[in-house]
Structures are given as C-alpha cells and as structure tokens.
Amino acid sequence: MAVTARKQAMFWGIGFLLLALTLWALGSTLVPFMLGAAIAYLLDPLADRLERLGLGRVAATAIIALLVVFGFVLTMGLVVPALIDQGQQLVAAVPKWIAWMQEMLARRFPSGDDQEALLRRGLTTLQEHFKEIGPGVINSVLASSMAVVDFVLLMVVAPVVAFYLLLDWDRMLATLDGWLPREHAPTIRAIMRDIDRTLAGFVRGQLSVCLIQGTFYAVALTLIGLPFGFLVGMLAGLLAFIPYVGALVGGVLSMAIAIFSFWEQPLWIFVTAGIFAFGQFVEGNVLTPKLVGKSVGLHPVLLILALAVFGRLFGFAGMLVAVPVAASLGVLGRFAVGRYLESPLYTGRRPPGVG
C-alpha cells in the first residue's frame, strides 16, 4: 500500500525536527566536523580532476593534503607573523594619533568652547584607555584563544575529518543516494544539484575573489608607503567574503590611516582612495561576474537581510555563512514556489481523477 502524502510529510517533518534537536543539543561539538565536511566538499572537485588524470583516490587525496599542509605552513611562517606585528604596531599607534588630533584641535580652536572641551576630554580618555590596554590586546586575545580547548580541537580534528571524508566522498554520496525514497529520489537529486551549483559558484568563486583582492590591496597599499598597508589589505580581502563588509572596513580603515599619515601630502590620501575605488570597480565588473556570476540568485536587499539576521543570531560566524545558507534556502524556496504555481491551490483546477 502506497504511503499517503500526508504521512510522508509527517515522517519527514519528524525527521527534520529530530535532526534539528540533535544539532542543537550537540552544539559546538559538531563545529570541527562541520568544518571538515565543508573543506572536503570544497576540495572534492580537485580530487576528481586528479582522478581523471589517472591517479587513484588515495593518491589524489594524499597530494591535496600535502599541498594544504604546505600552504598552511607557508602562511603561518610568512603571512601570520607579519599580520601580528603590524596589528601590534597599529594598536600602539592609536594613542599617538589621538594626541595628534588633540594638538590639531588646540590649534584650530585656541579659545576652547564647551563642545571643543568636551571633545578634548573624550579624546584624552580614549588615549589613556589605549595606553593601558592597547599594547597587550592582541597578545592577550591570541593567548586566550590558544588556551581554549575548542580552538585546539578545531585546528586538529577538522583537517583529519576533512582528509577521511575527502577519501570516501564519492562512496558516501553513493550511499546517501541509495537511502533516498525511490519515489522522490529524482526530485531530491535535482534540488541537491541546484544547491551544489549555487554553493560551488559562490563559495569557490568568492574565495578566489578574496584572495585576489587581499593580495592586490596589500601589495598596492604597501607600495605607496601606507603604514600597516599589508594588514589593512589582507583584512579587506578576508572580509570580502561577506558582501559589502570587506570594502567598508578596508576602505574606512585605510582612509583613516592615510589621513593621519599623509596629512601633509594630501595627494597620497587620494591615491589610497583611488586604490580602493579601482579595486571595487574591478571586483564588481570583472572578478565577481567572471568567478562568482549570478550563482547566489538573491536580490541585494535579501542579502543584506540575511547578513543582518544571521549576524544577530550567530555573531561574526553567522555573517560568514549567511550568504551560502541563504542561497541554499533560496533554491528550496524557488522549488516550493514552482510547485505552488503548478498546484490546484494556485490554478484552481482539480487533479485528474479527483471528483
């Protein structure tokens, strides 16, 4: 006897509810495993390409693992120390910039009205605050982070999980496909293919955009002599994964540093602004259309809403996953709308054979 649509919906609803409760109960314990699965998903196309070149799955996975380890060691040895050093220098330089602002105010408003005096007191308080906590803030953050067990687990467990999942990725997909209900298997496969194209187009493309933009900003700002240019450029590239955030943070931070550093040479302030304007022009007209395309399929207003909602619920980590999750939900939403437009609820016509 065939299972009715109502019973199927009930079974699927209970299943999804139990899954959600399980994920909620396990909480942060699943984070290393989810990160490992995400890494394996991103690297699977590379493993498939190596297999098509004649390598076995084990050899392809081993080569990818060696490349990832080499890249990680190179990054930790060259890039991270430079970022930490410039970050410490930036924190230490803030009190000097505040003092410079106070001197500018004193020259600009020698009489000192109430508003100017209030601003001076605020700057003085901010300067003292930075002098007290500024020099050690990055070291304390790093020390506390490394002491957290979850962070250690993330760094150790996630790569191991990614290696084993990448090794058995195709077999796992075949097993999961065999568990699909036969009646709905073609529909589920079609939906998952759409989600895969959406996620692959966005995540892999956006990572390429972040790498290109971060390298461009870091090199360009360093070449013009902007203090902390390498740090600002890499930060702007990293945050470019979140739409609008990378350009906003990088642009504002670089312009603030340029104003303090190039006050007597205003040409370089405009050059700094020009670098970010050029970078955004290339990103919007060349990089994103070529590497990301229209894979997300969401209106900019919906993207902003997704960033706001996920950021409010899950903080910075929520903003990182907001667009991929929203894009996947968009695929499901478009499928649901398509089914609704074909249903009697919309057309008003009864299905054949129904009296």
Burial-class residue 40 by CB neighbours within 10 Å (0-12, 13-18, 19+). buried
Cα 228 to chain centroid distance, Å, stands at: 23
Single-letter amino acid, residue 31: V
pLDDT in the model for residue 146: 44
Within this chain, do residues 113 and 197 fall inside the same structural domain, yes or no?
A: no
Are residues 57 and 47 in contact, defined by beta-carbon separation less than 8 angstroms?
Answer: yes
- Looking at 169, 204, 219, the residue that finishes a domain is 169
The verdict on 79 and 144 lying in the same domain is: yes
Of 28-42, 85-99, 230-244, 327-341, which gets the smallest average pLDDT?
A: 85-99
Q: Are 323 and 305 in contact (CB under 8 A)?
A: no
pLDDT in tens, 140-177: 544 444 444 555 566 778 888 899 999 999 899 999 88
Single residue among 169, 196, 216 that ends a domain in this structure: 169
Cα of 178 vs its chain's centroid, Å: 33
Q: Is position 67 within any domain?
A: yes
CB 127 within 8 A of CB 98: yes
Structure tokens at 34: 């989810």
Any domain includes 175? no
What's the rounded mean pLDDT across residues 121-131?
56
In a shared domain, residues 339 and 192: yes
Instruction: Say whether both 207 and 352 belong to one domain.
Output: yes
pLDDT digits (tens, 9 = 90+) for 47-60: 999 999 999 999 99
Closest by CA position to 217, among listed 262, 267, 273, 265: 273
Residue 214 · residue 276 · CB < 8 Å: no
